[in-house]
Structure 1
Amino acid sequence: MHKVSIITPVYNSEQYIKKCIESVLAQSYEDWEMILCDDCSTDASVEIIRAFAEKDQRIKLITCEINGGAGVARNKAIEQAAGRFIAFLDCDDFWHKDKLKKQLRFLKDKDFAMVYSQYYIVEGEAEVPKYKICSPEKVCFKSMLRNDYVGFLTLIYDTEKLGKQYMSEIRRRQDWAYKLKLLKSGYCAYGIQEPLAFYRVGNSSLSSNKFKLIKYNFRVFHEELGNSWITSSFLMINFLCYYFYYKLVSKKKVNFKPSTS
């Protein structure tokens, strides 16, 4: 077996962090380390993590001296990562118990560099999802320019093929920029057609999210990828067309039944 380093940025997540960590502890694949980097939380997040770390040495807590955002926190955790494989799980999300086992088997059997899966949407404080997000079987750099098809909480990549990669420290959309960076290497990512993770969404306004999408996506096209304003504007328009279409066809309502196996 090869170790998986699970990267988790934490900020004021006392309400959800226990569920997040417990989903990792429940993994049927046991060769992992979970590196949680706290970004100056002001609630009880750190105390909760420390309680878990005292019981299981695979759980590791590091802290930021100043609040720098999720990109900074993830990079500090990636720097500490000792695993061959890198996976990501945010502090309010959680995994299916066979997530690592199924994805690593898929990655190794096919000799892929990156894999992902479908995932469920959990709304607010709910525990049971109402929707799942379907995903394509394959995503390469050009297709990722058109839309973010890969849920970050499902991504796993092999550092023996891609090296240990660090992400942009922009406040938003650094996860999408990171996936573009990995795919720009020439490798494609491949998806298991099964939901293996649970993504929690909040109640922020749709109009605000739309504005942030345009602002930060443009920054990725222009600043992170180095395109001109004209090219970035064209890519942004193209992205929005694909984004809203994909939202319509990828979100499926489900009658979720927890696994009893």
Structure 2
Amino acid sequence: MCDRNKMIQVTAITAAYNAASYIENCIQSVLAQTVPCRMVIVDDASRDDTYAIAMRYAEEYPDRITVLKNEQNAGAAASRNRAVACATTPYVAILDADDWWQEDKTERQLKRLAETKADACYAGRELMHADGISTTKIVQVPETVTYHGLLKGNVIPCSSVLMRREDALQYPMTHDELHEDYIVWLSMLRDGKTFAGVNEPLLKSRLGETGKSRKKGKSARMTYGVYRYMGIPVWKAVYYFCCYAAAGCKKYAGARGKK
């Protein structure tokens, strides 16, 4: 049952699939936030101990953590949407099960939203090895982003985004075969929503071998698919794709990334 305590402003939204090796670190980072947060975890029919681990925390922190389980694998987009529907706080913040937050992440972002009156906030990230050790690679982000600017490359790390729950409901994630988060950010910006960035590594992003964006050729095809889904004419899509490719080479120089 979803918690109804209205004192907390932010709910972490986590879709988890076969994340038993990492999810404790993810959960603990939410519990350690300097402003209290809730968390809704949707286990997407994992085949390992993800659900059991998450339930152990839900039993220990019943007012903070809610765990739902998909009987069949539904994908990250549908699982996140289910978690958003369960949340009752004014804000939601996406967090992948293999990533984690710096302890003041949500506090810093709420402050940034108050200062800028933006609709959503994102942050920089530090790339981590699979064992949780830092690669020392920091991916910086701009303080703000526009629709046309974002078409040149998705600079918004999904696990860093904090946004109004009402916007997350209005712009649900779809199309797992594409970059579903990229579609949401572009759709919001096109409709006049605003984003503000915190250019500090408030997100710790674990490198992985199995993420759907891990294979750069596949990720490139998905990115071009996003352009076409958004109705971008072919000639413009080719231009934006070239910008994306150039930005990607610079972004991941010296580091291996999953997203």
Do Structure 1 and Structure 2 share a fold, with TM-score over 0.5? Answer: yes
1:234 to partner: Cα distance: 3.0
Alignment partner, residue 194 of structure 2: 188
Give matches, 1:7-22, under 5 Å.
7-22=13-28
Match of 2:239 in 1: 238
Deviations 1:38-77 (A, max 9, x none): 1110000000000000011211111112112111111111
Per-residue CA distance 1:163-206 (angstroms, 9 max, x = gap): 64311142341111121122222022111121101111223699
Per-residue deviation, 1:162: 7.3
CA RMSD of aligned residues (A): 2.5
2:3 matched to which residue of 1?
A: none
Task: Check whether the contact 1:130–1:253 (CA below 8 A) recurs between aligned residues.
Answer: no
Aligned equivalent of 1:92: 98
Work out whether 1:47 is the aligned partner of 2:52. yes
Does the Cα contact within 8 Å between 2:122 and 2:160 map onto a contact in 1?
yes
Gaps of 5+ in 1: 255-261
How far has the Cα of 1:79 moved from its partner? 1.3
Normalized against structure 1, the TM-score is what?
Answer: 0.86
CA distance in 2, matches of 1:162, 1:253: 34
CA shift in 2, pair 1:214/1:247, >3 Å = closer
Classify the secondary structure of the residue corresponding to 2:155.
coil
Superposition pairs for residues 65-84 of structure 1, below 5 Å?
A: 65-84=71-90
3-state SS of 1:52 partner = helix
CA deviation string 1:126-168 (max 9, x = no partner): 3324201011111121111111011111111124677643111
Structure 2: tracts of 5 or more residues without a match: 1-6
- Identity within the alignment, %: 27
1:64 and 2:63 are equivalent in the alignment: no
1:152: which partner in 2? 158
Please list every run of at least 4 consecutive aligned residues from structure 1 whose deviation after the TM superposition is greater than 6 angstroms: 205-208
1:38 and 2:39 aligned: no
What letter is aligned with 1:241? C
Q: Tell me, in whole angstroms, the C-alpha distance in 2 between the residues paired with 1:79 and 1:206.
A: 25
Amino acid corresponding to residue 43 of structure 1 in structure 2:
D
Amino acid at match of 1:100: T
Please say if residues 132 and 252 of structure 1, whose CA atoms lie closer than 8 Å, have aligned partners that are also in contact: no
C-alpha distance in 1 between matches for 2:221 and 2:90: 34
Q: Distance in 1 between matches of 2:252 and 2:222?
A: 23
For the residue of structure 2 that corresponds to 1:132, the secondary structure is strand
Residues 113 and 162 in structure 1, CA contact (< 8 A), matched pair in contact too: no
The code of the aligned residue for 1:242 comes to C
Q: 1:19 to 1:172 in 2, by over 3 A?
A: farther
Following the alignment from structure 1 to structure 2, what is the Cα–Cα distance between the partners of residues 100 and 14? 24
User: Aligned equivalents of 2:128 and 2:241: distance in 1?
Assistant: 24
8 Å CA contact 2:139–2:251 kept in 1: the answer is yes
Q: Alpha-carbon deviation of 1:9?
A: 0.4
Q: For the residues of structure 1 that align with 2:205 and 2:136, how far apart are their CA atoms?
A: 11
Q: Hey, what does 2:124 align to over in structure 1? A: 118
State the TM-score, normalizing by the size of structure 2. Answer: 0.87
Deviates more, 1:47-56 or 1:236-245: 236-245
Larger deviation, residues 165-174 vs 52-61:
165-174
| Contact kept? 1:138, 1:189, Cα under 8 Å | yes
